[in-house]
Amino acid sequence: MIVDCDRHVSFSDFRELFPYMSLSWRKHFERTEFIGAIIDTSRHIWADDRHIHEEVASRAFEEDESALLLPHQGLTVNGWADTVAAKAFLEAVNAYGEEHWTRPGSARVVVVSPHDSAWSAAEVKRRAQTGAGAVAIPLAGPLLGTGYYDAVYDACQEAGLPVVVHFSGLEGFYRGPQPLAGGIHRSAFSRHVLLPQLAESNLASMSFEGTFEKFPDLRVVVSGFGFTWLPPLCWRLDREWRTFRHDIPWVKRAPSEYLRERVWVTSWPLREAGADVWERFGFTEENRSRIVYGSHDPFDGDSPADVRALLGDSAGDTLLSAGAGLRELLTSDVA
């Protein structure tokens, strides 16, 4: 069994969402002001033929393969100023997904709004009734450990849905999405290198703010940020907790224990890590068990063949099936 925990799905034209919107919202999204904003700022939603976009072919599913199907275009609302339109857009994206991103054995991810936690909690409950398999929270505004998201986590826990954390690609480019540390970078390459900061910041926030204590059944998939940063993050979290745990009595256990039990981190980009990744980056058996396969398909990702070629057949197959810890979410009844 191959379990791909970072596989993307998309629509090719935003007008495909119109059947899932009211007439007034369709008129809104057809206005020149909106289309121009997309063309000028988003590299994820291509509005019309004035901006040429080469379609990227998705890798075919292998036999007996399951996946978390993430609609990455929805994540870009973390850069939207019109937060009301963002909710209408996400409602349409999630409704579109129910009809078009359904595959037996795989889990459809719904995207909620970081701009309205009450609406997002209601959207989780609504989509949980229609076969959603996970919930993605775009990175904007408060860190994920703040109480702002408690209603969302409560709804996810009640529905048994994990939270997916994945960058939109707007972080570090525009005001609104969570910023990278230190300031504004002019180079797209430096922004790409520093994206793991977002994963570390939000996991630290969830650990020290007590999210995992408040929501003991909450599960989190941190996707697309790489994984070699995980061991040193666990070491630093535990060191600070041991030294100052009397100042944060609501964190009852070492943070690494929460992460080992409740958090999975996807493997892409495995090719950057190298064949001796486990030894070179100090992975213990416990930390290694938290790494699950993520192809990042259809972008420049890691196919199962890439994984086997890098790690060897035995170790490669172990990683490819590592997401079996989430297997209960990827049944034939979940799409």
**Which pLDDT band holds residue 333 (cuts at 50, 70, 90)?**
very low
According to CATH, the superfamily of the domain at 2-10+66-329 is: Metal-dependent hydrolases (3.20.20.140)
Quick: pLDDT tens for 178-227: 888 877 777 777 888 889 999 999 999 999 999 999 999 999 999 999 99
Residue 32: pLDDT above 90?
Answer: no
pLDDT the model gives residue 65? 85
pLDDT (0 to 100) of residue 52: 41
Domain boundaries, the chain: 2-10+66-329
174 vs 51, which has greater pLDDT?
Answer: 174
Question: Where does the pLDDT of residue 56 fall: very low under 50, low under 70, confident under 90, or very high at 90 and above?
Answer: low
Averaged pLDDT, 52-75: 78
Helix (H) / strand (E) containing 69: strand 65-71
Half-sphere exposure of 106 (CA within 13 A, CB side): 25
Among 245, 270, 252, residue whose Cα is nearest residue 320: 270
- Which 8-state DSSP code applies to residue 101? S
What is the predicted pLDDT for the residue at 4? Answer: 93
* pLDDT value at residue 335: 35
Higher pLDDT, 173 or 243: 243
Highest mean pLDDT among 141-150, 175-184, 274-283, 319-328: 141-150
Cβ neighbourhood burial of 272 (10 Å; 0-12, 13-18, 19+)? exposed
Which pLDDT band holds residue 327 (cuts at 50, 70, 90)?
low
Of the listed ranges 5-19, 98-112, 202-216, 316-330, the least confidently predicted one is: 316-330
With cut-offs at 50, 70 and 90, classify the pLDDT of residue 229: very high
pLDDT greater at residue 55 or residue 251: 251
Q: Nearest-CA neighbor of 207 among 238, 232, 181, 164?
A: 238
Mean pLDDT, residues 227-255: 94
Percent of the chain with pLDDT over 70: 88
Q: Give the other-Cβ count within 10 Å of 234's Cβ.
A: 23
**Higher per-residue pLDDT: 207 or 318:** 207
pLDDT at res. 181: 82
What proportions of the chain, in percent to the nearest 5, are helix, strand and coil?
Answer: 50, 10, 40
pLDDT value at residue 54: 46
DSSP state string for 194-233: HTHHHHHHHHHHHHHTTHHHH-TT--EEE-SS-STTHHHH
